Amino acid sequence: MSRLQPLVNSLPNGVAPRLDQGLSALGVIISAEQREQLLGLLALLHKWNRAYNLTAVRDVEEMVSRHVLDSAAVAPYVHGPTLLDVGAGPGLPGLVLAIMKPELQVTLLDSNGKKVRFQRQAVMELALTNVTPTQARVEQFTGQHFDQVISRAFASLVDFVTLTRPLPSANGQWLAMKGPGADDELRNLPEGIELSERHLLNVPFETAERQLLILTPKGVE
C-alpha cells in the first residue's frame, strides 16, 4: 500500500471516477502517482475545510470540478519554469499545477496564516519537492522574479497587475483566471500592459464561463 492510500481511501466512491472522467475530457494524461497526489489533495482539502473554512465549496465531488479541474484546465499555458501563484488560498491552482508539472518551481503566496499552514501540510503529505509556500502580503513580497505570475481569485485584473508589477521577469507573463465580464477590467489595464492571449476554458462539469487572460508588457512577444 502506498503512503497516500489511506488518505485516498477516505474519499467518497464517486470522487476518483469524476476526476478521471474530467481529466480525460481535458485531454490530460498523468501517472498513477500524480493521480494519487491529486486525490490526496482533495482528501486533505475536504478534511481541513471542515475545521478551517478554506473554501466555500463543501462537497468534495464539487471540489473536483471547481478546484482541481478548473486549475488543470490552464496547464497547457503554464510553462514556467518558475511560477508564482498570488493569492493562492489553500494552494489553487499552484498545487495542482505542481503535481501535473513536476518540472515547475512553484511559489504559493498568501497572507492568510491558516491557508498557508494547509499549503505546508499538503506539500509535506503529498511529498512535493517543487513547491514553496510563503505567507506574506503581495505588496511586501519583493526581491524575486518569476517567468509567470498566476492568479485564480485575486481581486480585479488591474489590482492583480499593479500589485505584482515588479514580480514577472523581463519576458514574464501574467496569467489571470477569470469568469465572464473581464472585458471591463481589460479596458482599464495599467499603462504599458497588454493582452497577448485569451483562451476560453471548458472545465468539465462546470457550466459557468471560464477564461484565461495572458498579459505581457507592451513590446514583449
Known binding residue 139? Answer is yes
Q: For residue 10, give the H/E element and its range.
A: none
Tell me if 201 is assigned to a ligand binding site: no
44 is in an annotated binding site: no
**How many angstroms separate the Cα of 30 from the Cα of each of 51, 62, 142, 164?**
31, 21, 34, 32
- Yes or no: say if 46 and 68 are a contact pair by the CB < 8 Å rule: no
Separation CA 213–CA 18 (nearest Å): 27
To the question of whether residue 87 is assigned a binding role by annotation, the answer is: yes
Is residue 190 reached through a cis peptide bond, with omega within 30 degrees of 0 on the bond before it? no
Is 206 assigned to a binding site?
Answer: no
Interior/surface letters 70-105, b for 16+ CB within 10 angstroms, e for the rest = bbbbbbeebebebbbbbbbbbbbbbbbbbbbbeebb
Reported as type and span, the H/E element at residue 109 is strand 105-110
Helices (H), 85-188: 94-100, 113-125, 157-164, 183-187
Of the candidates 29, 27, 38, the one whose C-alpha atom is nearest the C-alpha of residue 4 is 38
Binding residues: 87, 92, 138-139, 152
Binding residues for S-adenosyl-L-methionine: 87, 92, 138-139, 152
